[in-house]
Amino acid sequence: MPSSELERERAVVASFYRRLDQLRAEVEGRLVAVQRGNVGSNHQARSERDSFARLHEDNLAQLNEVDARIAFGRLQVAEGGPESGAPDAIHYIGRIGLRDADQSTMLLDWRAPQAGAFYQATAAHPLGVRARRHLTMRERELIRIDDEVLDAALLDELRATDAAAGEALAAASGTLQGEGALLAALTAERTGHMHDIVATIQGEQDRIIRSEMRGALVVQGGPGTGKTAVALHRAAFLIYANRERLKSAGVLVVGPSAAFVHYIEAVLPSLGETGVVMRTLGALFPGVEADTDDAPATAALKGRLEMSGLLARAVRSRQRVPAGPEQIEVNGDTITVAPSLIENAIHRAQRTGKPHNVARVTFVKAAIAELATQLATQLAQAGAAIDDSDIAALREDLRESYAVRVLLNTAWLPLTPEKLLGDLYARPEWLAELTPRWSPERRALLLRERSVPMTVSDVALLDEAAELLGDMPARRSAADKERERQREADIENARAAIANMGVEGMVSAEQLADGFAERGERMSVAERAASDRTWTYGHVVVDEAQELSAMQWRMLVRKSPMRSFTIVGDIAQVSSPAGARSWAEALHAGFGDRWRLEQLSVNYRTPAQIARAAESFAADAGLPITPARAVREGDWPIDTVVADGELAPAVLQAVRSVRADAAGGNLAVIVPAAALDGIADALGAALNDEPAGSRPVVGRGAAGLDLPVAVLTAREAKGLEFDAVVIADPRAIVEESPRGAAALYVAATRPTQRLAMVYPRGEEPLTGFAGAEKVSTFG
Ligand SMILES: Nc1ncnc2c1ncn2[C@@H]1O[C@H](COP(=O)(O)OP(=O)(O)OP(=O)(O)O)[C@@H](O)[C@H]1O
């Protein structure tokens, strides 16, 4: 490539940065002007000022986030067709769109329709593209360009003007788009955080990313095929293509563990999109942060659809008719309350079809009315003259009466989801009453002390219970109504403010109103969505979706009643006891057959020899794998290590040996759950004293992801990747759970470079991994 070409492109890139800096200075200027503006003590004016300030701050943050590697592609497109004689058009593709002062496009947002050809065009289907150029940048510096020519005529033109460059280009046409840039990205050292792939998205991935938002899209693919990357880029694309709708309704991304959320959380901001809600399944019920799960059999039971029936019966059984008549005293009069009076009031309330706590209002009203009539009749019979105003007063007396409150609460107590579920688990007789057909062993799976914290599997049950119960009466207080009233007023004011400032089209009234609440209280859409259990999102992305139980799907479908979902996963990697055996089975209850399937077929993560061994092990274990073609051979054989004595010292030696070979990068030690503490402590004691600045070398779980060595269970390693992986006692991982083979398959497909398996003394390597080239004995 002539160096002048590189220089020419550097000049173009410099012009992008000049424009970016200019825009940033403009926004900063606006921000300062807004902040300095004198609005006196007028509350409305202050609110407006604060929300404009917030808008500018968000803009600025977005411009800062996209600063590094702002542009990555260039398309040369035949305008008006090859025969038109018109000069080719040149489009640059970047993380955001840029226009110059005259509003001409300088840089196309990668999500713009015209930018699609950058990812989709091939020599067979050039889509009007004559040549494609990949720009590889380090921060703001352009360090390399790679060209592909898709039009043979252009190649001939080039050969005629510069024979050497033409030949080099002809030889470089491969099957992967931007092969040089792609391989550089794939072999780069991992940092513990996922990076965007915007510069090297491949054709099959791009089709999925740009697929329409409506309905449920399932993306199935083997390990390392880019499912997570595709799902996140799709979220960014959908926000771009449906900005108005998704800005106000929000997008939810659900991942399997806190470590995973930590791993992916920087991707969307680096694409300029903040404000997406990212949550684990254990954190989808506001106020609960569950990070441990039940034993497999319990988790499997809690995930079953029949739990919804059980919870509904549990709620109904809290609407109780007394066994016999009860006498209560109100203001010196004794009333005998027949069970039928309570029964009638219960039926009235049940017929409303409203949730328990909401229907209770009807119950109380009906019961009090009946009691008042009964009391009035009683008093009239005793000679008192009773008219309508007396009856109203009697109702009030009854409402105030402690005895009546006890009577009505015993029949229909307001309940929180936590209380309902806690009682169900802690009261064996009640559970037995509700589950006459269950075996005692099955019931025993649910029983536990009230003080045990909620588990990940409980969260979907809490959500189900909350649906059945509705808000507690006290919580539907004036505060909610006031908030709604305020919101309406804010939107109205925002409309006026937008018109006054002449910024129509820049921001919607709803967006601006989001910032109207007083500082400290004001919340973004993401914050509001995350704190409101009943929030319905515009789109939901579910990663590692194969793990979800039927109850978890029910919860998620409630979060997007329009059923606009991106569901990514790999059926062969199911390791949760409540996970599905096929997508049809997993999705049947929530989606029927209204979902479409896309597959990914290329493994970008794992070197071919590791991928082959893992696939061969998985096939042998009967897992339904989706074979994927690995894009590269690795530089290392799989290490098989057999402990000579204890396991932990052998693991330590394997870690030391792998780290000694590698210049840097990150390493995971994946262990059976039972061995986690022992191995983490042993590695910590040996390695954390090594001089590595002020930071420790080894960390456990999510805390280890930012350190050179993370010690994790296979479950925690789900969805993550590392330069090197050492698996301690692989057979124990297979044997520790009913779906242990899948757990090991997950563990073995995490490395981007090296894999070592450490076996206890005397053990043979597992099938599939046997015959590895390098066997050592440590310990
Ligand atoms: N087009 C691409 N360009 C560059 N890197 C890519 C591309 N596609 C995928 N990758 C990289 O490949 C690795 C695997 O991707 P990702 O984690 O999304 O795969 P996955 O299918 O979710 O894997 P698993 O099911 O094993 O969790 C990541 O490092 C990702 O950045």
In Å, what is the CA distance from 350 to each residue of 355, 358, 373, 414, 420? 9, 10, 22, 14, 18
Query: Under DSSP, is residue 669 helix (H, G, I), strand (E, B) or coil?
Result: strand
In Å, what is the CA distance from 561 to each residue of 248, 282, 391, 538, 595? 16, 21, 45, 9, 14
Q: Please give the single-letter amino acid code of residue 120.
A: Q
- From CA 284, how far away is CA 557, in angstroms rounded? 13
Q: What are phi and psi of 767, to 5 degrees?
A: -55, 145
Compute the average pLDDT of residues 536-544. 95
**DSSP of 354-382, one letter per residue?**
--HHHHHHHHHHHHHHHHHHHHHHHHHHT
- From CA 506, how far away is CA 355, in angstroms rounded? 41
What is the predicted pLDDT for the residue at 587? 93
Compute the average pLDDT of residues 472-483. 65
722-728 and 565-569: which strand pairing?
Answer: unpaired
HSE-CB at 470 with a 13 A cutoff on CA atoms is 14
Minimum-distance ligand 1 atom for the alpha carbon of 604: 12
Minimum-distance ligand 1 atom for the alpha carbon of 225: 21
Minimum-distance ligand 1 atom for the alpha carbon of 186: 5
What is the predicted pLDDT for the residue at 689? 76
Compute the average pLDDT of residues 489-498. 78
CA–centroid distance, residue 604 to ligand 1 (Å):
6
Asked whether residue 82 carries a pLDDT value surpassing 80, the answer given is: no
What is the predicted pLDDT for the residue at 775? 66
Among residues of the chain, what percentage have pLDDT more than 90?
63
**DSSP of 698-725, one letter per residue?**
EEEGGGGTTSSEEEEEHHHHTT--EEEE
Asked whether residue 1 carries a pLDDT value surpassing 60, the answer given is: no
Nearest-CA residue for atom 4 of ligand 1:
197
pLDDT tens figures, 542-563? 999 999 999 999 999 999 988 9
Minimum-distance ligand 1 atom for the alpha carbon of 746: 26
Minimum-distance ligand 1 atom for the alpha carbon of 201: 1
CA–centroid distance, residue 179 to ligand 1 (Å):
15
HSE-CB at 24 with a 13 A cutoff on CA atoms is 14
What is the predicted pLDDT for the residue at 30? 92
The DSSP bridge partners found for residue 145 are 135
Q: Please give the single-letter amino acid code of residue 128.
A: G
Minimum-distance ligand 1 atom for the alpha carbon of 600: 21
326-330 and 251-255: which strand pairing?
Answer: unpaired
- From CA 538, how far away is CA 535, in angstroms rounded? 10
Torsion of CA 188, 679, 579, 249, to 10 degrees: -60
Task: Return the structure tokens found at 124.
Answer: 């067979």
Among residues of the chain, what percentage have pLDDT more than 70?
91
In the chain, count of helices (H) and strands (E)? 32, 23
Residue 502: which pLDDT band, with cuts at 50, 70 and 90? low
Helix H or strand E segment including 34 = helix 3-36
Which of 107, 108, 185 lies closest to 146 in space, CA to CA? 185
CA–centroid distance, residue 224 to ligand 1 (Å):
5
In Å, what is the CA distance from 288 to each residue of 231, 418, 475, 476, 740? 26, 10, 18, 20, 28
CA–centroid distance, residue 624 to ligand 1 (Å):
20
Asked whether residue 52 carries a pLDDT value surpassing 90, the answer given is: no
Task: Return the structure tokens found at 629.
Answer: 């073609």
CA–centroid distance, residue 670 to ligand 1 (Å):
20
Pocket mutation for ligand 1, best pick of 176, 220, 227, 232 (most atoms within 8 Å of C-beta): 227
Residue that wins the pLDDT comparison between 177 and 524: 524
Pocket mutation for ligand 1, best pick of 205, 207, 208, 228 (most atoms within 8 Å of C-beta): 228
Minimum-distance ligand 1 atom for the alpha carbon of 719: 27
- From CA 543, how far away is CA 550, in angstroms rounded? 16
Asked, colleague to colleague, whether 203-285+533-602 and 608-759 share their fold, the answer is yes
Compute the average pLDDT of residues 680-708. 85
What is the predicted pLDDT for the residue at 248? 84
Task: Return the structure tokens found at 459.
Answer: 């969260």
DSSP 517: S
Residue that wins the pLDDT comparison between 482 and 345: 345
Burial 384-422 (b: 16+ CB within 10 A, else e): eebeeebeeebbebbeebebbeebbeebbebbbbbbbbb
Asked whether residue 436 carries a pLDDT value surpassing 90, the answer given is: yes
User: Domain segments of the chain: what residues?
Assistant: 5-177, 203-285+533-602, 296-469, 478-525, 608-759
Minimum-distance ligand 1 atom for the alpha carbon of 750: 26
What is the predicted pLDDT for the residue at 520? 41
Asked whether residue 385 carries a pLDDT value surpassing 90, the answer given is: no
| Radius of gyration of the CA atoms of the chain, in A | 32
In Å, what is the CA distance from 375 to each residue of 174, 349, 354, 447, 667? 90, 22, 29, 44, 77
- From CA 718, how far away is CA 668, in angstroms rounded? 12
- Give the residue ranges of the annotated binding site: 221-228
Minimum-distance ligand 1 atom for the alpha carbon of 200: 3
Burial 649-671 (b: 16+ CB within 10 A, else e): ebbbbbbeebbeebeebbbbbbb
Nearest-CA residue for atom 29 of ligand 1:
605
What is the predicted pLDDT for the residue at 338? 97
Residues 95, 77 contacting (CB under 8 angstroms): no
Query: Under DSSP, is residue 618 helix (H, G, I), strand (E, B) or coil?
Result: helix
Q: What are phi and psi of 668, to 5 degrees?
A: -115, 140
- From CA 166, how far away is CA 156, in angstroms rounded? 8
Dihedral sign for Cα atoms in the order 93, 566, 557, 430:
negative
Nearest-CA residue for atom 16 of ligand 1:
226
CA–centroid distance, residue 570 to ligand 1 (Å):
13
- From CA 78, how far away is CA 127, in angstroms rounded? 9
Ligand 1 neighbours, Cβ below 6 Å, are: 182, 185-186, 194, 197, 200-202, 205, 221, 223-229, 570, 604-605, 719, 721, 749
Least confident of 117-126, 145-154, 725-734: 145-154
CA–centroid distance, residue 739 to ligand 1 (Å):
24
Pocket mutation for ligand 1, best pick of 120, 219, 225, 571 (most atoms within 8 Å of C-beta): 225
What is the predicted pLDDT for the residue at 515? 60
CA–centroid distance, residue 584 to ligand 1 (Å):
25
CA–centroid distance, residue 93 to ligand 1 (Å):
22
Q: Look up the CATH superfamily of 608-759.
A: P-loop containing nucleotide triphosphate hydrolases (3.40.50.300)
Compute the average pLDDT of residues 711-718. 93
- CATH class, range 203-285+533-602: alpha beta
Residues 543, 193 contacting (CB under 8 angstroms): no
The DSSP bridge partners found for residue 255 are 280
Least confident of 54-63, 96-105, 561-570, 743-752: 54-63
- From CA 544, how far away is CA 572, in angstroms rounded? 11
What is the predicted pLDDT for the residue at 165? 64
Which of 22, 13, 12 lies closest to 101 in space, CA to CA? 22
Torsion of CA 268, 274, 276, 277, to 10 degrees: 110
Task: Return the structure tokens found at 729.
Answer: 């006692």
CA–centroid distance, residue 225 to ligand 1 (Å):
5
**Whole-number mean pLDDT of the chain?**
89
What is the predicted pLDDT for the residue at 244? 86
Cα angle vertex 516, ends 515, 522, to 5°? 60
CA–centroid distance, residue 369 to ligand 1 (Å):
65
pLDDT tens figures, 216-266? 999 999 999 999 999 999 999 999 999 888 988 899 999 998 889 999 998
Pocket mutation for ligand 1, best pick of 72, 118, 186 (most atoms within 8 Å of C-beta): 186
Nearest-CA residue for atom 13 of ligand 1:
605
Pocket mutation for ligand 1, best pick of 264, 599, 605, 610 (most atoms within 8 Å of C-beta): 605
Nearest-CA residue for atom 27 of ligand 1:
719
Task: Return the structure tokens found at 79.
Answer: 């305008």
Residues with Cβ within 8 Å of 417's Cβ and at least 6 positions away in sequence, in order, are 285, 462, 463, 465, 466, 469
Which of 572, 599, 564 lies closest to 718 in space, CA to CA? 572
Nearest-CA residue for atom 23 of ligand 1:
224
Minimum-distance ligand 1 atom for the alpha carbon of 569: 25
Query: Under DSSP, is residue 265 helix (H, G, I), strand (E, B) or coil?
Result: coil
Which of 517, 424, 534 lies closest to 475 in space, CA to CA? 534
Nearest-CA residue for atom 24 of ligand 1:
223
Query: Under DSSP, is residue 518 helix (H, G, I), strand (E, B) or coil?
Result: coil
Minimum-distance ligand 1 atom for the alpha carbon of 568: 22
Which of 583, 564, 565, 563 lies closest to 574 in space, CA to CA? 583
Asked whether residue 171 carries a pLDDT value surpassing 70, the answer given is: no
Helix H or strand E segment including 94 = strand 89-94
Residue 152: which pLDDT band, with cuts at 50, 70 and 90? confident
- From CA 589, how far away is CA 216, in angstroms rounded? 13
Pocket mutation for ligand 1, best pick of 604, 625, 631, 715 (most atoms within 8 Å of C-beta): 604
- From CA 93, how far away is CA 146, in angstroms rounded? 14
Task: Give the rounded distance of the alpha carbon of 722 from its chain centre.
Answer: 20
CA–centroid distance, residue 229 to ligand 1 (Å):
6
In Å, what is the CA distance from 211 to each residue of 205, 255, 391, 560, 644? 10, 21, 64, 18, 54
Compute the average pLDDT of residues 191-214. 92
Burial (0-12, 13-18, 19+ Cβ within 10 Å), 765: buried
- Its ipTM equals 0.99
- Give the residue ranges of the annotated binding site for ATP: 221-228
What is the predicted pLDDT for the residue at 440? 97
Residues 90, 106 contacting (CB under 8 angstroms): no
Asked whether residue 756 carries a pLDDT value surpassing 80, the answer given is: yes
Nearest-CA residue for atom 30 of ligand 1:
226
The DSSP bridge partners found for residue 775 are 640
722-728 and 89-94: which strand pairing?
Answer: unpaired
CA–centroid distance, residue 606 to ligand 1 (Å):
9
CA–centroid distance, residue 631 to ligand 1 (Å):
12
